[in-house]
Amino acid sequence: MKNSYRYMVYLNNAQFTPADADLILKKSRELTNSLDIIIRDCRIASDFIELDLSLEKKENIDKVLDLLKNISLTKEIMEVKERHLNKSEAITSAIELFNDEKYWWSHEALEMVWKEAGGHEKRLLNGLILICAAFVHFQKNENNICFSILERSMAKFLNVETSNYYGINIDKIKILIGQILENKKILMLKI
């Protein structure tokens, strides 16, 4: 698609779990196969289904949403485009997005800050970004990948000297991630 428009489409979720991600992805592709569309990914959160898609024609989004009603009603649509936030806004946004289980977006917000950071701060941000990435894989029912990425995130926190970063309790996160890795059971957490 040369001139495509990328969206995150959020459908209501009352019954699906990450184990259903492949099924929903397949069904959403089948439902929309008559349109010029790419559906890259499906991620299942507690109260929404997140579909990452691109369209060649922006006006086709209404047709897509109408077809996706066969899965569930639309909750929200967010166009994926470059956002410019200052450091404080980006971190505040990342926290809110993470706590809303919008891990892909949280990753994007933190990456804005990471690009400008250095030293220990860059390492700490990389650890937080890896946690976001891990939970993206959890939402796709890719738990082994999730655990592997969480292990990498813990390595980033080894020599971090701060216990609080813009209101994010790093010590608490390290404990919770440690529990997840030890028990091999995903815990939903807030930052």
- The tokens describing 183, both together, are 């028990």
Stated pTM of the model: 0.94
pLDDT score recorded for residue 162: 78
Query: Can you identify the CATH homologous superfamily of domain 87-183?
Result: TTHA0068-like (1.10.3450.10)
pLDDT score recorded for residue 1: 56
pLDDT score recorded for residue 83: 84
Q: State pLDDT tens for residues 67-112.
A: 999 999 999 999 998 888 899 999 999 999 999 999 999 999 999 9
Measured from the Cβ of residue 88, the count of other Cβ atoms closer than 10 Å reads 10
Residue 3 has pLDDT above 80, yes or no: no
Give me the mean pLDDT over the 120-127 stretch.
94
Instruction: Round the average pLDDT of the chain to a whole number and report it.
Output: 94
Sequence-distant (≥ 6) Cβ neighbours of residue 158 within 8 angstroms: none
Query: Can you identify the CATH homologous superfamily of domain 5-79?
Result: ACT domain (3.30.70.260)
- The tokens describing 118, both together, are 């250095």
pLDDT score recorded for residue 2: 65
Cβ proximity of 35 and 64 under 8 Å: yes
Strand order in the sheet with 48-55: 37-44, 48-55, 5-12, 74-79
Give me the mean pLDDT over the 29-47 stretch.
95
Give me the mean pLDDT over the 32-56 stretch.
95
Q: Where are the domains of the chain?
A: 5-79, 87-183
Residue 185's pLDDT band, with cuts at 50, 70 and 90, is very high
d(CA 54, CA 62): 13
